Chain A
Protein backbone atom coordinates (compact mmCIF):
# COMPACT_ATOMS: atom_id res chain seq x y z
CA UNK A 1 0.00 0.00 0.00
CA UNK A 2 2.83 2.35 0.86
CA UNK A 3 4.51 1.48 -2.42
CA UNK A 4 1.24 2.18 -4.27
CA UNK A 5 0.91 5.63 -2.71
CA UNK A 6 4.51 6.35 -3.58
CA UNK A 7 3.94 5.36 -7.18
CA UNK A 8 0.80 7.49 -7.29
CA UNK A 9 2.62 10.56 -5.99
CA UNK A 10 5.52 10.08 -8.40
CA UNK A 11 3.12 9.52 -11.28
CA UNK A 12 1.25 12.71 -10.43
CA UNK A 13 4.55 14.60 -10.21
CA UNK A 14 5.71 13.38 -13.62
CA UNK A 15 2.30 14.12 -15.15
CA UNK A 16 2.38 17.63 -13.69
CA UNK A 17 5.86 18.19 -15.11
CA UNK A 18 4.81 17.02 -18.56
CA UNK A 19 1.66 19.17 -18.35
CA UNK A 20 3.86 22.17 -17.54
CA UNK A 21 5.95 21.55 -20.65
CA UNK A 22 2.81 21.20 -22.73
CA UNK A 23 1.60 24.51 -21.40
CA UNK A 24 4.95 26.12 -22.25
CA UNK A 25 4.84 24.66 -25.75
CA UNK A 26 1.19 25.32 -26.53
CA UNK A 27 0.14 28.36 -24.55
CA UNK A 28 3.33 30.34 -24.21
CA UNK A 29 5.31 29.76 -27.39
CA UNK A 30 4.43 30.47 -30.98
CA UNK A 31 3.10 27.00 -31.71
CA UNK A 32 -0.62 27.62 -31.56
CA UNK A 33 -3.58 29.77 -30.83
CA UNK A 34 -6.32 28.15 -28.81
CA UNK A 35 -9.64 29.37 -30.17
CA UNK A 36 -11.68 30.08 -27.08
CA UNK A 37 -13.60 32.99 -28.49
CA UNK A 38 -17.37 32.57 -28.85
CA UNK A 39 -18.98 35.23 -30.94
CA UNK A 40 -20.04 36.16 -34.41
CA UNK A 41 -17.39 36.69 -37.03
CA UNK A 42 -17.12 39.53 -39.50
CA UNK A 43 -14.33 40.30 -41.93
CA UNK A 44 -12.59 43.53 -42.81
CA UNK A 45 -10.23 44.16 -45.71
CA UNK A 46 -7.20 46.36 -45.22
CA UNK A 47 -4.55 47.58 -47.62
CA UNK A 48 -1.90 47.22 -44.95
CA UNK A 49 -2.27 45.83 -41.46
CA UNK A 50 1.15 46.89 -40.18
CA UNK A 51 2.00 44.87 -37.07
CA UNK A 52 -1.48 43.61 -36.27
CA UNK A 53 -1.51 40.11 -34.80
CA UNK A 54 -4.04 37.40 -34.24
CA UNK A 55 -5.77 37.79 -30.84
CA UNK A 56 -5.32 41.55 -30.88
CA UNK A 57 -8.29 43.38 -29.31
CA UNK A 58 -11.14 44.95 -31.26
CA UNK A 59 -12.55 48.03 -29.56
CA UNK A 60 -15.37 50.47 -30.01
CA UNK A 61 -15.18 53.73 -28.11
CA UNK A 62 -12.15 52.32 -26.32
CA UNK A 63 -14.06 49.33 -24.93
CA UNK A 64 -13.01 45.85 -25.99
CA UNK A 65 -15.82 44.14 -27.86
CA UNK A 66 -13.97 41.34 -29.61
CA UNK A 67 -10.72 39.90 -30.92
CA UNK A 68 -8.89 39.36 -34.17
CA UNK A 69 -9.17 35.64 -34.87
CA UNK A 70 -7.63 35.37 -38.32
CA UNK A 71 -5.38 37.24 -40.72
CA UNK A 72 -5.05 36.20 -44.34
CA UNK A 73 -4.07 37.68 -47.70
CA UNK A 74 -6.52 37.74 -50.59
CA UNK A 75 -4.41 36.43 -53.51
CA UNK A 76 -6.49 38.30 -56.10
CA UNK A 77 -6.66 41.78 -54.66
CA UNK A 78 -3.54 41.60 -52.47
CA UNK A 79 -5.54 42.93 -49.57
CA UNK A 80 -5.22 41.68 -46.04
CA UNK A 81 -8.39 39.94 -44.88
CA UNK A 82 -8.82 40.23 -41.14
CA UNK A 83 -11.44 38.11 -39.39
CA UNK A 84 -12.88 39.66 -36.24
CA UNK A 85 -14.83 37.78 -33.64
CA UNK A 86 -17.25 40.11 -31.87
CA UNK A 87 -19.04 39.57 -28.60
CA UNK A 88 -22.67 38.56 -29.28
CA UNK A 89 -23.77 41.11 -26.66
CA UNK A 90 -22.92 43.83 -29.16
CA UNK A 91 -25.15 42.73 -32.01
CA UNK A 92 -26.36 46.19 -33.01
CA UNK A 93 -23.32 47.54 -34.81
CA UNK A 94 -24.32 49.36 -38.03
CA UNK A 95 -23.06 47.76 -41.26
CA UNK A 96 -21.41 51.00 -42.37
CA UNK A 97 -19.17 51.17 -39.32
CA UNK A 98 -15.54 51.79 -40.15
CA UNK A 99 -12.55 49.81 -38.88
CA UNK A 100 -9.12 51.33 -38.45
CA UNK A 101 -5.89 49.85 -37.20
CA UNK A 102 -4.60 51.88 -34.28
CA UNK A 103 -1.64 51.65 -31.95
CA UNK A 104 -1.94 51.79 -28.18
CA UNK A 105 0.71 54.16 -26.91
CA UNK A 106 3.89 54.99 -28.74
CA UNK A 107 5.37 51.48 -28.77
CA UNK A 108 2.32 49.48 -27.81
CA UNK A 109 0.63 46.74 -29.77
CA UNK A 110 -1.80 47.39 -32.61
CA UNK A 111 -5.52 46.89 -32.32
CA UNK A 112 -8.62 47.51 -34.36
CA UNK A 113 -10.90 50.41 -33.49
CA UNK A 114 -14.46 50.44 -34.81
CA UNK A 115 -16.34 53.70 -35.42
CA UNK A 116 -20.10 53.28 -35.52
CA UNK A 117 -21.91 54.29 -38.70
CA UNK A 118 -25.51 55.38 -39.17
CA UNK A 119 -27.23 52.56 -41.07
CA UNK A 120 -30.25 50.73 -39.74
CA UNK A 121 -28.96 47.29 -40.67
CA UNK A 122 -26.60 45.56 -38.29
CA UNK A 123 -23.52 43.39 -38.68
CA UNK A 124 -24.18 39.66 -38.49
CA UNK A 125 -22.15 36.49 -38.88
CA UNK A 126 -20.15 36.70 -42.11
CA UNK A 127 -20.69 40.38 -42.92
CA UNK A 128 -17.87 42.51 -44.24
CA UNK A 129 -16.81 45.92 -43.02
CA UNK A 130 -16.45 48.10 -46.12
CA UNK A 131 -14.89 51.22 -44.63
CA UNK A 132 -11.41 50.51 -43.40
CA UNK A 133 -8.33 52.51 -42.66
CA UNK A 134 -4.92 50.86 -42.86
CA UNK A 135 -2.28 50.89 -40.22
CA UNK A 136 -0.07 53.91 -40.03
CA UNK A 137 3.36 52.76 -41.13
CA UNK A 138 5.89 55.05 -39.57
CA UNK A 139 8.47 54.73 -42.38
CA UNK A 140 5.92 55.74 -45.03
CA UNK A 141 4.79 58.65 -42.92
CA UNK A 142 8.34 59.93 -42.50
CA UNK A 143 9.00 59.39 -46.22
CA UNK A 144 5.95 61.41 -47.15
CA UNK A 145 6.93 64.15 -44.75
CA UNK A 146 10.41 64.35 -46.28
CA UNK A 147 9.17 64.50 -49.89
CA UNK A 148 6.54 67.07 -49.00
CA UNK A 149 8.94 69.24 -47.06
CA UNK A 150 8.63 72.88 -48.07
CA UNK A 151 11.23 73.94 -50.67
CA UNK A 152 14.74 74.46 -49.45
Chain B
Protein backbone atom coordinates (compact mmCIF):
# COMPACT_ATOMS: atom_id res chain seq x y z
CA UNK B 1 0.00 0.00 0.00
CA UNK B 2 2.66 2.47 1.03
CA UNK B 3 4.66 1.50 -2.05
CA UNK B 4 1.76 2.54 -4.29
CA UNK B 5 1.41 5.81 -2.40
CA UNK B 6 5.12 6.46 -2.72
CA UNK B 7 5.01 5.81 -6.46
CA UNK B 8 2.03 8.12 -6.83
CA UNK B 9 3.76 10.81 -4.80
CA UNK B 10 6.92 10.49 -6.86
CA UNK B 11 4.95 10.82 -10.11
CA UNK B 12 3.22 13.98 -8.86
CA UNK B 13 6.49 15.46 -7.63
CA UNK B 14 8.21 14.67 -10.92
CA UNK B 15 5.46 16.42 -12.83
CA UNK B 16 5.75 19.44 -10.58
CA UNK B 17 9.52 19.49 -11.03
CA UNK B 18 9.06 19.29 -14.80
CA UNK B 19 6.58 22.17 -14.71
CA UNK B 20 9.01 24.21 -12.66
CA UNK B 21 11.88 23.44 -15.04
CA UNK B 22 9.71 24.35 -18.00
CA UNK B 23 8.85 27.70 -16.42
CA UNK B 24 12.49 28.48 -15.64
CA UNK B 25 13.41 27.39 -19.15
CA UNK B 26 10.86 29.86 -20.53
CA UNK B 27 12.34 32.75 -18.55
CA UNK B 28 15.88 31.81 -19.66
CA UNK B 29 14.60 31.91 -23.24
CA UNK B 30 13.09 35.36 -22.71
CA UNK B 31 16.31 36.53 -21.10
CA UNK B 32 18.37 35.34 -24.05
CA UNK B 33 16.15 37.10 -26.60
CA UNK B 34 18.03 40.40 -26.40
CA UNK B 35 21.02 38.65 -27.97
CA UNK B 36 19.01 38.58 -31.21
CA UNK B 37 19.48 42.32 -31.65
CA UNK B 38 23.23 41.77 -31.96
CA UNK B 39 23.03 38.70 -34.22
CA UNK B 40 19.98 38.99 -36.51
CA UNK B 41 21.64 36.66 -39.04
CA UNK B 42 20.92 33.67 -36.79
CA UNK B 43 17.25 34.60 -36.85
CA UNK B 44 17.03 34.67 -40.65
CA UNK B 45 18.32 31.12 -40.93
CA UNK B 46 15.76 29.82 -38.42
CA UNK B 47 12.92 31.78 -40.01
CA UNK B 48 13.75 29.97 -43.21
CA UNK B 49 13.74 26.59 -41.48
CA UNK B 50 10.47 26.96 -39.56
CA UNK B 51 8.64 29.51 -41.70
CA UNK B 52 9.49 29.22 -45.36
CA UNK B 53 9.72 25.43 -45.29
CA UNK B 54 6.31 25.20 -43.58
CA UNK B 55 4.66 27.25 -46.32
CA UNK B 56 3.72 24.43 -48.73
CA UNK B 57 1.79 22.41 -46.14
CA UNK B 58 0.09 25.57 -44.82
CA UNK B 59 -0.92 26.72 -48.31
CA UNK B 60 -2.27 23.35 -49.40
CA UNK B 61 -4.09 22.60 -46.14
CA UNK B 62 -5.56 26.10 -46.00
CA UNK B 63 -6.89 25.80 -49.52
CA UNK B 64 -8.52 22.42 -48.86
CA UNK B 65 -9.98 23.42 -45.50
CA UNK B 66 -11.53 26.50 -47.11
CA UNK B 67 -12.91 24.43 -49.97
CA UNK B 68 -14.46 21.90 -47.58
CA UNK B 69 -16.02 24.73 -45.55
CA UNK B 70 -17.46 26.16 -48.75
CA UNK B 71 -18.96 22.82 -49.77
CA UNK B 72 -20.36 21.95 -46.34
CA UNK B 73 -21.67 25.43 -45.73
CA UNK B 74 -23.38 25.47 -49.09
CA UNK B 75 -24.97 22.04 -48.60
CA UNK B 76 -26.50 23.20 -45.31
CA UNK B 77 -27.40 26.78 -46.18
CA UNK B 78 -29.04 25.96 -49.49
CA UNK B 79 -32.04 24.49 -47.63
CA UNK B 80 -32.77 27.91 -46.15
CA UNK B 81 -32.04 29.85 -49.31
CA UNK B 82 -29.31 31.58 -47.33
CA UNK B 83 -26.33 30.70 -49.50
CA UNK B 84 -25.46 34.38 -49.65
CA UNK B 85 -24.19 34.10 -46.06
CA UNK B 86 -21.70 31.46 -47.13
CA UNK B 87 -18.91 34.05 -47.17
CA UNK B 88 -19.64 34.91 -43.55
CA UNK B 89 -19.65 31.27 -42.49
CA UNK B 90 -16.35 30.47 -44.21
CA UNK B 91 -14.60 33.64 -43.07
CA UNK B 92 -15.74 33.53 -39.45
CA UNK B 93 -14.94 29.85 -38.90
CA UNK B 94 -11.49 30.31 -40.42
CA UNK B 95 -10.68 33.58 -38.69
CA UNK B 96 -11.95 32.70 -35.24
CA UNK B 97 -10.97 29.06 -34.92
CA UNK B 98 -9.65 26.99 -37.78
CA UNK B 99 -6.94 29.35 -39.02
CA UNK B 100 -4.94 29.72 -35.81
CA UNK B 101 -5.68 26.23 -34.41
CA UNK B 102 -4.93 24.18 -37.51
CA UNK B 103 -1.86 26.29 -38.24
CA UNK B 104 -0.53 25.57 -34.75
CA UNK B 105 -1.23 21.83 -35.10
CA UNK B 106 0.39 21.66 -38.53
CA UNK B 107 3.30 23.71 -37.26
CA UNK B 108 3.82 21.30 -34.36
CA UNK B 109 3.97 18.39 -36.79
CA UNK B 110 6.07 20.08 -39.43
CA UNK B 111 8.44 22.36 -37.49
CA UNK B 112 8.01 21.68 -33.76
CA UNK B 113 9.01 18.03 -34.04
CA UNK B 114 12.05 18.99 -36.12
CA UNK B 115 13.09 21.54 -33.50
CA UNK B 116 12.85 18.95 -30.73
CA UNK B 117 14.82 16.38 -32.69
CA UNK B 118 17.49 18.92 -33.57
CA UNK B 119 17.98 20.19 -30.04
CA UNK B 120 17.74 16.67 -28.60
CA UNK B 121 20.41 15.42 -30.98
CA UNK B 122 22.61 18.41 -30.24
CA UNK B 123 22.34 17.43 -26.60
CA UNK B 124 22.94 13.73 -27.30
CA UNK B 125 26.07 14.50 -29.32
CA UNK B 126 27.19 16.91 -26.59
CA UNK B 127 27.23 19.94 -28.84
CA UNK B 128 25.43 22.00 -26.22
CA UNK B 129 27.90 20.95 -23.54
CA UNK B 130 30.89 21.80 -25.74
CA UNK B 131 29.41 25.22 -26.46
CA UNK B 132 29.27 25.84 -22.74
CA UNK B 133 32.89 24.73 -22.49
CA UNK B 134 33.78 27.46 -24.98
CA UNK B 135 31.81 30.00 -22.94
CA UNK B 136 29.13 30.24 -25.62
CA UNK B 137 25.66 30.33 -24.10
CA UNK B 138 23.49 27.80 -25.98
CA UNK B 139 20.41 29.72 -24.91
CA UNK B 140 21.61 32.78 -26.76
CA UNK B 141 23.22 30.99 -29.65
CA UNK B 142 20.89 28.03 -30.31
CA UNK B 143 17.58 28.29 -28.48
CA UNK B 144 16.67 31.98 -28.59
CA UNK B 145 16.92 32.33 -32.40
CA UNK B 146 14.72 29.25 -32.87
CA UNK B 147 12.21 30.46 -30.32
CA UNK B 148 11.92 33.98 -31.75
CA UNK B 149 11.77 32.72 -35.33
CA UNK B 150 8.97 30.33 -34.39
CA UNK B 151 7.04 33.05 -32.57
CA UNK B 152 7.26 35.27 -35.66
CA UNK B 153 6.50 32.47 -38.12
CA UNK B 154 3.32 31.07 -36.52
CA UNK B 155 1.21 34.28 -36.71
CA UNK B 156 2.37 34.87 -40.29
CA UNK B 157 1.53 31.28 -41.22
CA UNK B 158 -1.87 31.60 -39.52
CA UNK B 159 -2.60 34.74 -41.54
CA UNK B 160 -1.60 33.00 -44.75
CA UNK B 161 -3.63 29.90 -43.87
CA UNK B 162 -6.73 31.98 -43.19
CA UNK B 163 -6.40 34.09 -46.32
CA UNK B 164 -5.82 31.06 -48.53
CA UNK B 165 -8.71 29.26 -46.85
CA UNK B 166 -11.09 32.11 -47.64
CA UNK B 167 -9.88 32.06 -51.24
CA UNK B 168 -10.52 28.31 -51.31
CA UNK B 169 -14.03 28.86 -50.01
CA UNK B 170 -14.52 31.55 -52.63
CA UNK B 171 -13.35 29.21 -55.40
CA UNK B 172 -15.83 26.51 -54.44
CA UNK B 173 -18.73 28.81 -53.58
CA UNK B 174 -18.54 31.31 -56.40
CA UNK B 175 -16.75 29.55 -59.23
CA UNK B 176 -18.13 26.09 -58.62
CA UNK B 177 -21.53 26.41 -56.96
CA UNK B 178 -22.61 29.73 -58.38
CA UNK B 179 -23.06 31.84 -55.25
CA UNK B 180 -23.07 35.51 -56.18
CA UNK B 181 -19.57 36.88 -55.71
CA UNK B 182 -20.78 40.30 -54.54
CA UNK B 183 -23.01 38.70 -51.92
CA UNK B 184 -20.14 36.45 -50.83
CA UNK B 185 -17.83 39.38 -50.12
CA UNK B 186 -20.37 41.95 -48.97
CA UNK B 187 -22.01 39.64 -46.43
CA UNK B 188 -18.55 38.69 -45.22
CA UNK B 189 -17.50 42.32 -44.84
CA UNK B 190 -20.76 43.15 -43.11
CA UNK B 191 -20.29 40.48 -40.45
CA UNK B 192 -16.54 40.16 -39.91
CA UNK B 193 -15.19 42.84 -37.61
CA UNK B 194 -11.57 43.90 -37.73
CA UNK B 195 -10.94 44.12 -33.99
CA UNK B 196 -13.39 41.62 -32.56
CA UNK B 197 -12.67 38.90 -35.10
CA UNK B 198 -9.44 39.42 -37.04
CA UNK B 199 -7.29 40.87 -34.25
CA UNK B 200 -8.76 38.67 -31.51
CA UNK B 201 -9.02 35.55 -33.61
CA UNK B 202 -6.10 35.31 -35.97
CA UNK B 203 -3.59 37.65 -34.35
CA UNK B 204 -3.89 37.09 -30.59
CA UNK B 205 -4.63 33.37 -30.79
CA UNK B 206 -1.80 32.63 -33.17
CA UNK B 207 0.70 34.64 -31.13
CA UNK B 208 -0.26 32.65 -28.02
CA UNK B 209 -0.15 29.35 -29.90
CA UNK B 210 3.19 30.27 -31.46
CA UNK B 211 4.79 30.96 -28.08
CA UNK B 212 3.38 27.76 -26.57
CA UNK B 213 4.22 25.49 -29.52
CA UNK B 214 7.84 26.68 -29.67
CA UNK B 215 8.26 26.64 -25.93
CA UNK B 216 7.14 23.01 -25.74
CA UNK B 217 9.23 21.97 -28.74
CA UNK B 218 12.43 23.54 -27.44
CA UNK B 219 11.88 22.40 -23.84
CA UNK B 220 11.25 18.81 -24.86
CA UNK B 221 14.40 18.84 -26.99
CA UNK B 222 16.45 20.42 -24.23
CA UNK B 223 15.20 17.94 -21.64
CA UNK B 224 15.39 14.87 -23.90
CA UNK B 225 17.28 11.81 -22.67
CA UNK B 226 20.52 11.87 -24.69
CA UNK B 227 19.80 8.55 -26.42
CA UNK B 228 18.05 7.63 -29.66
CA UNK B 229 14.97 6.46 -27.73
CA UNK B 230 15.03 9.63 -25.67
CA UNK B 231 15.04 11.86 -28.74
CA UNK B 232 12.27 9.90 -30.43
CA UNK B 233 10.18 9.99 -27.24
CA UNK B 234 10.74 13.73 -26.91
CA UNK B 235 9.64 14.30 -30.52
CA UNK B 236 6.44 12.37 -29.94
CA UNK B 237 5.80 14.29 -26.74
CA UNK B 238 6.22 17.61 -28.52
CA UNK B 239 3.48 16.83 -31.00
CA UNK B 240 1.11 15.38 -28.37
CA UNK B 241 1.63 18.11 -25.78
CA UNK B 242 1.42 20.89 -28.34
CA UNK B 243 -1.83 19.53 -29.72
CA UNK B 244 -3.33 19.23 -26.22
CA UNK B 245 -2.08 22.64 -25.10
CA UNK B 246 -3.28 24.37 -28.25
CA UNK B 247 -6.76 22.85 -28.10
CA UNK B 248 -7.17 23.56 -24.38
CA UNK B 249 -5.87 27.12 -24.73
CA UNK B 250 -8.15 27.61 -27.71
CA UNK B 251 -11.14 26.84 -25.52
CA UNK B 252 -9.93 29.29 -22.87
CA UNK B 253 -9.22 32.05 -25.37
CA UNK B 254 -12.53 31.53 -27.15
CA UNK B 255 -14.38 31.69 -23.83
CA UNK B 256 -12.56 34.94 -23.00
CA UNK B 257 -13.00 36.55 -26.42
CA UNK B 258 -16.33 35.35 -27.72
CA UNK B 259 -17.91 33.75 -24.67
CA UNK B 260 -21.14 35.02 -23.21
CA UNK B 261 -19.95 35.22 -19.64
A54 partner residues in chain B, CB cutoff 8 A? 186
* A1-22 contact mask (Cβ, 8 Å, vs B): 1 or 0: 0010011011011101111110
Q: Is the CB of A30 within 8 A of B194?
A: yes
The answer, among B48, B82, B160, B188, for a CB contact under 8 Å with A107, is B82
Interface magnitude class on chain A: 35 or more
Give the 8 A-B CB pairs with smallest separation, nearest first: A105-B81, A17-B156, A55-B186, A20-B163, A20-B159, A29-B194, A109-B84, A20-B160
The answer, among A6, A27, A67, A108, for a CB contact under 8 Å with B44, is A6
A56 lies within 8 A of chain B by Cβ? yes
B residues within 8 Å of A by Cβ? 41, 44-45, 47-48, 51-52, 55, 80-85, 91, 95, 152-153, 155-157, 159-160, 162-164, 166, 180, 182-183, 185-194, 197-198, 202-203
**For the complex, what is the distance from the CA of A6 to the CA of B140, rounded to whole Å?**
21
A57 lies within 8 A of chain B by Cβ? yes
Of chain B, the residue at the smallest CB distance from A24 is B198
A residues within 8 Å of B by Cβ? 3, 6-7, 9-10, 12-14, 16-21, 23-25, 27-33, 53-57, 64, 67, 104-109
Q: How far is the CB of B11 from chain A (nearest CB, A)?
A: 42
Of chain A, the residue at the smallest CB distance from B183 is A109
Q: How far is the CB of B90 from chain A (nearest CB, A)?
A: 10
Q: How far is the CB of B98 from chain A (nearest CB, A)?
A: 13
